[in-house]
Amino acid sequence: MERHFASGNLVRDIVIGMADGLTVPFALAAGLTGAVSQTRLIVLAGSAEIAAGSIAMGLGGYLAAKGDATHYESERQREEREIVERVQDEEREIYEIFSTYGVSQEESTPVLNALKRKPQAWVDFMMRFELGLEKQQPQRARNSAATIAASYIVGGLIPLAPYIFLHNVYSALTWSVLITIVALAVFGFIKGRVAGISPLRSAIQTTLTGSLAAAAAFGLARLFSVE
């Protein structure tokens, strides 16, 4: 039985939400550690950021998915007109597509004739192989928004958790750093397994990327924090 990964959009949304959720609230909490001495204030600020960030990220995912769907429909309508009004141009494009796979014009002509008998299949073929566009699922925008927002919340609660349970801000910061690094590594490993790539390499890349982003944000937050 062949096994192929077919949940690219879902994983992409989870990665987007988790990546920002793990780094942005951590950077905020770490920056505030040098400015305030009460973990309660840091938790309140972090919670507000998680709420605002999840809404903003979810809305961004929703609008992006809606934009993709609108773009697909617009291009499809154009292709539907072209196979009627510009038949020769479309036929030439079919030959050009097949030529990239080493298929001669004589060999691809029967396929072209078959597609011409089925206009909708012809349009589907051009959308996929000429434009590289896939039709979006009806609930794609809503699901994308919910997945990104939920992933952001989950990711954001991880670096904020030590500040919830510990009263010393510097102890909370230490545990937050450790937990966030471990979470990035685990998240990268799982992402690699699901996507069918090297889990170890994915874990290292995710950890390094997240750590660099968090360090940069932490440095800026400390730079502009009030002593």
**pLDDT per position as a tens digit, 188-214:** 887 777 666 788 888 888 788 777 766
Residue 46 and residue 99: Cα distance in Å, rounded? 56
Contact 180, 26 (CB under 8 A): yes
> At 2, is the pLDDT very low, low, confident or very high (cuts 50, 70, 90)?
very low
Distances in Å between the Cα of 216 and the Cα atoms of 17, 69, 211 are: 19, 35, 8
pLDDT in tens, 114-153: 877 888 887 888 888 777 777 777 788 888 889 889 989 9
